[in-house]
Amino acid sequence: MASSVSDPDPAAAPPLIGVTTYLQRAQTGVWDLEASFLPRVYMDGVIAAGGVPVLLPPQPTLPGVVDAVLERLDGLIVAGGADVDPARYGAEAHPRTDAPQTLRDEWEFALLGRALELDLPFLGICRGMQVLNVLRGGTLHQHLPDLVGDARYQLGRGVFARVAVEVDEGSRLATLVGERIQAPVYHHQAIDRPGEGLVATARSADGIVEAVELEGATHGLAVQWHPEEDPDDRRLFQSVVDAARAHRDRRKD
């Protein structure tokens, strides 16, 4: 007997957004162990924008794994976290640079690199912007207090500062958030030399790059600040989810 429930419309299904995660020591209850995790606020941002977050923990990039993952996703978010290994951009480690997280670096560089080849919509957040820049051959300032004289961009103890950010008129980012915002920041590194094809479209009053866009990408945007920390402003999440939905629909045509 035929079902009385109609088949769901694939076009109405929410897009799947891959979000990279941490992999490091964590404590919960009686447990103290290596764990993959992601702050809930990232997932909240994707869900509020109409997407489904799919967590992508660091793992070996075995042959075929990255393609198998990305062919099932409609968009990608590279999340915040530990510093990128400076060896990847030919630099010696600063005393304040985090110890390398080789597995996470390898995983995210492989994911994002292939995502760019596929023109998969993506959003980089904090570390995610730095991964994008280094992937494209750029370099990083390893410790901003050496440049600006204090810790205004990373207050410590998990306290986010608010920094005035000027956004370039006519940029994609400006169409999303306007030309001036107060951005929640928690970073002690930033872009030094932009990578190939990346255009800096937002800066703080100190001249620190706070956003880049990838030329030629359908949706290639990364910000140095933390939009997930502002529950009243989901515009960047909405942008990548909308682009992911359009990307999925184009693949079906």
Q: Across-strand partners of 212?
A: 200, 222
Residue 161 sits at φ, ψ, to 5 deg, of -90, 165
How many other C-beta atoms can be found within 10 angstroms of the C-beta atom of residue 167? 22
SS3 85: coil
The answer to whether the CB of 221 falls within 8 A of the CB of 132 is no
Task: Enumerate the active-site residues.
Answer: 126, 226, 228
What amino acid is encoded at 185 in this protein? Answer: V
Rg (CA), the chain: 18
Of the candidates 132, 136, 89, which has an alpha carbon nearest to the alpha carbon of residue 112? 132
The answer to whether the CB of 166 falls within 8 A of the CB of 203 is yes
Interatomic CA distance for residues 183 and 76, integer angstroms? 22
Interatomic CA distance for residues 148 and 129, integer angstroms? 20
